[in-house]
Amino acid sequence: MNTIYQALSELEKNYGFAALCTVTKSEGSTPRHVGSKMLVYPDGKFIGTVGGGELENRVIQAAVQSVKEGRAQTLSYTMADPSRGDPGVCGGQVEVFVEPILPPPLVVVIGAGHVGKAVVHLAKWLGFRVAVCDDRAEFCTPEATPGADHYYPVEMGNLADQLSITNRTYLVITSRGSGVDAVGLPGLLNSEAAYIGVIGSKRRWATTVKSLQEKGVSDELIQKVRSPIGLELQAETPEEIAVSIMAEVLMIRDKGTGKPMGEQ
């Protein structure tokens, strides 16, 4: 079996999710000493231990929630009286720090035209992991669109079969037309993506919406899409449009308002 540190290395290499749980305080009689660790995966499987029994069961549940929410937390337990909700009877007090281990957020640029190339460059500079998808294989290469970490020369509708789309995935659709979007979007709308943005005018998006509705896609799923994409900057060049798009992505990721700082 891997050690916790080996497992952490594997997580980093494979862009995995987990929570590292560490005993940070132990007073009186407690199951484990300070520094004891347990690594918990999103499905509840784990490596290591912070004490076993009901205490460990509660920590595992909290760890799974921390991974889902991307939020660290400190758990405090008194081990005295199960009748009042304590997880044990050994008499001590224990604190466990739960730290979510998350991969870098992923920007997926779908459509490697002029704007798509600019978004790849900017997203990488901002510290995102970046993937490119385009059904035109000649556009979806490091030579044609440099700077990405991954390349998927497949149709948009097949992307979810090639790539794990999580709540840390931001889909930036800079495709070449409404027809491409209407065919490809249904395969993405059921994903956990944190952001789905589609380039184009309001008229283009209205045309896409009509096509999606005719295919039976629900309004609830359609409303997950932000289109026209980006914040309103009067952007014109591909580079300016990329700034507008990534500003919106950052706003969504960090729960910003998009308002000028002077109005905050």
Q: Which pLDDT tens digit goes with each residue over 202-254?
A: 999 999 999 999 999 999 999 999 999 999 999 999 999 999 999 999 999 99
Dist CA 123 CA 252 (whole Å): 14
Can you tell me the mean pLDDT for 11-27? 92
Same structural domain for residues 114 and 239? yes
Residue 91 banded pLDDT, cuts 50, 70, 90: low
Same structural domain for residues 146 and 31? no
Q: Which two tokens stand for residue 101?
A: 């281990």
DSSP run (H or E) holding 207: helix 202-214
Q: Which two tokens stand for residue 109?
A: 């640029």
Same structural domain for residues 92 and 148? no
Q: Which two tokens stand for residue 65?
A: 């929630």
Same structural domain for residues 57 and 70? yes
Same structural domain for residues 76 and 138? no
Q: What is the pLDDT of residues 45-90, one digit of tens each?
A: 999 998 878 888 889 999 999 999 999 999 988 765 555 544 455 6
Same structural domain for residues 110 and 227? yes
Domain limit, last residue, from 56, 84, 101: 101
pLDDT at 163 over 90: yes
Same structural domain for residues 113 and 211? yes
Q: Which two tokens stand for residue 134?
A: 């385009």
Distance from chain centroid for Cα 149: 16
Domain that holds residue 21: 4-101
Dist CA 197 CA 229 (whole Å): 5
Dist CA 177 CA 158 (whole Å): 17
CATH number at residue 256: 3.40.50.720
Same structural domain for residues 78 and 117? no
Same structural domain for residues 93 and 212? no
Q: Considering the chain, what percentage of its residues have pLDDT values greater than 90?
A: 81
Same structural domain for residues 35 and 69? yes
